[in-house]
Amino acid sequence: MKQTILPPLSSGLDGQPTKRVWLAAGPLSLVYENGDLRYIKFGEHEVVRRIYFAARDQAWGTAPNTLSDVRMNVRPDAFDISYTCDNRLNDIHFTWRGTLSGTADGTITCAFEGEARAAFQRNRLGYCVLHPIGVAGTAARIEKVDGSQVKSAFPKDIAPQLVVDGILQPMLPFDEMRALVHEVQSDVWCRVAFEGEIFETEDQRNWTDASFKTYGTPLRLPFPVEVHAGEKISQKVTVTLQDAHGKRPVPMDKTDQDDTADKPSPEGTTFSILTERFPLPAIGMCVPLGKKLPTKKEATRLKQLKLSHLRVDLPMWDASWTATLEMAAKEAHMLGAKLEIGLFVNEGAEKQLTTLSRTRVRPLPGFWTERVNEEVARYLVFDRSAPVTPEAVVTLARARLGAAARIYAGTNKFFTELNCNRPDATLLGLVDGLCYSFNPQVHAVDNSSIRESPEAQAETIHTYKTFSNGKPLAITPITFKPRWSLGDNSLEPATKNTEADPRQKSQFVACWTLASLKHIVQAGGANSITLFETRGPRGVLERAIVFPVYHLLADIAEFGDEVVATMSSDPLKVEGLALQKGKKTLVLIANMTDTPQTVTLIGLGISPKAKLKLTVKLLDASSMRLVTKKPETWRTKAGMEISKPVLTLPAYALARIDW
């Protein structure tokens, strides 16, 4: 099979398998991966999600870590690791020697000493520490660089990323820090100390990262920062455990340590089907850029997804918008879907919206006449110059499009824009709903980081409900890769195709999408979801090739619109979605890792000792040829029967379970 069709199962874009080393530092367990430390745990409590080095250029592009001369000395309760790392991206060229150590008393130290090999501009250069999403709401102590201490707590709801006088603000009072201490459990606290830079924290859930990030160089200082050739830089991060009084606690017994990361545990993972029910949101997709309609075969396959709508973006200042709209209307007509129209206006909004209200789309009978509001699921109204739709533009859109038009306001970008520009009561009274978009690659591109994001996606919905006064939510669009670079502040629609992520065609994207849908639905707030594009390298199929994510969406479309609540004992290993139709239940389960995982189904009368006839069909590496090249054959292929609700999932496999 050609690699261009199905990339190797890997943790990144280089096609190389992930190399992990499981470590211990006394009572702490953790994972080493490509120079980083991940998932530092005290028993079942995750205390630090990740410690890593980041070299980011003036457009926030991240220079990859290229390691050499890696040396390891791993003992049962301690470790010493050292390596040389080279970071290169555009004008960045920085080389450093990193040392990682863990001792039997539960101390973990990360340090580096480096030198700039050339002059360059950087927005960030040094260590970042990610605190797990589970610390939200827990007590914290901030040790300031001036020696003072402040008692606080990590916010439960997502803290707005505020901008004051053009300067990005940290998550106060988590600023000007030399150490950050948070509660782990009764009388056990985790202290993270920083040297070599002033550190502060932001709430990364704003971008659907499942973490709070503490980073060096305060954003109050001007950036980018010029780094001179030959300049030497060093930093250190130290993690320790202590009690509420700052003293070292009694270490936990080693037998109580939890399994870490993707390392399979002997008992496996449990996946429980609960009793609560949720409606499945309307699911649509984006119209790909270009002037070609789907072929007959593509249209036939796409109709199997029963799409609610197709999103099309119209820059109203561009005369070509009418042709774009007509092409999208034709595709929607072919697929039996409505349109979700992104209206982007500028200072000529009044004329632009007036022109739209008088436009007729031909040659589709009945489209855009008196039945226009039956054919348009919603209008997403955006202003070219504002991060969130201004009230004046919404008022104008309502006047021009009519009272029956379903008008949504919000942002074409991330949740953070809506969170720090929350709508007031007047705006909420004018709109039918609000919208924002997301993708899992704002800050990291590796599979381990991406699979964490669905939990944070749900957190955006929980926070949304605190300020939206019950208004419907459209999450649109959800893409796997960003639609623009982080250095691009454009608020306009994409008019050029960005480089596609080759993983769009892989099992991993299907697994991630399954986890994403589960968390969005069970957060109970999104009425509509717009996923990917219909066709092409950012879609669910491309010419004769069908991607694994297509079959996930086809399974959901086939089975119905009621979701049954589920719970995984380890969502970073195994995640899934359950749907019910009459007396039949469909469970879709994904292995989120690149190692085999054993999962036991619990609920709806199922127990490990029960003798049942479950039908299981595995979408894994061995079935890829059928899945991608003969999708109709795959969809009619019968599953195999198993007598007990226990199965082993290969790497990045999806299981369809019927009973």
pLDDT value at residue 605: 65
The CATH code of the domain at 269-274+567-658 is: 2.60.40.1180
What 8-state DSSP symbol labels residue 621? G
Kindly state the helix (H) or strand (E) to which residue 526 belongs, with its residue range: strand 526-533
pLDDT tens readout for residues 362-385: 555 445 545 566 789 999 999 999
pLDDT value at residue 407: 97
For the record, the structure tokens of 536 come out as: 């092409």
pLDDT value at residue 168: 83
pLDDT value at residue 252: 65
CA atoms within 13 A on the CB side of 261: 26
pLDDT value at residue 46: 97
The CATH code of the domain at 20-249 is: 2.70.98.10
Kindly state the helix (H) or strand (E) to which residue 473 belongs, with its residue range: strand 473-478
Three-class secondary structure assignment of 42-81: ECCEEEEEEEEEEEEECCCCECCEEEEEEEEEEECCEEEE
Dist CA 198 CA 530 (whole Å): 40
| pLDDT < 70 positions in the chain | 1-18, 250-267, 360-373, 485-489, 604-612
Please name the amino acid found at residue 435.
C
Dist CA 64 CA 333 (whole Å): 44
Dist CA 69 CA 243 (whole Å): 38
Dist CA 182 CA 138 (whole Å): 7
Query: What global pTM score does this model have?
Result: 0.93
Place of tokens 């943790």: 11
Please name the amino acid found at residue 361.
V
The CATH code of the domain at 281-559 is: 3.20.20.80
Q: What residue ranges do the domains of the chain occupy?
A: 20-249, 269-274+567-658, 281-559
Fold match, 20-249 / 281-559: no
Place of tokens 């201004």: 390
DSSP output for 407-464: EEEE-SS-HHHHHHS---HHHHHH-SEEEEEE-S-SS--SHHHHTTHHHHHHHHHHHH
Dist CA 254 CA 300 (whole Å): 57
Dist CA 658 CA 649 (whole Å): 16
pLDDT value at residue 13: 44
Residues 282/308, Cβ–Cβ less than 8 Å: yes
Residue 630 CB contacts under 8 Å (≥ 6 apart), including other chains: none
Dist CA 365 CA 462 (whole Å): 42
DSSP output for 340-388: EEEEEE-TTHHHHHHHHHT----SSTTTTSTTHHHHEEEEEEEETT-SS
Please name the amino acid found at residue 635.
R
Where are the strands (E) in 78-231, listed by range? 78-89, 92-102, 108-116, 120-132, 139-144, 149-153, 163-164, 167-168, 177-185, 188-195, 199-203, 211-216, 225-227
Dist CA 375 CA 309 (whole Å): 9
pLDDT value at residue 61: 87
Residues 649/629, Cβ–Cβ less than 8 Å: no
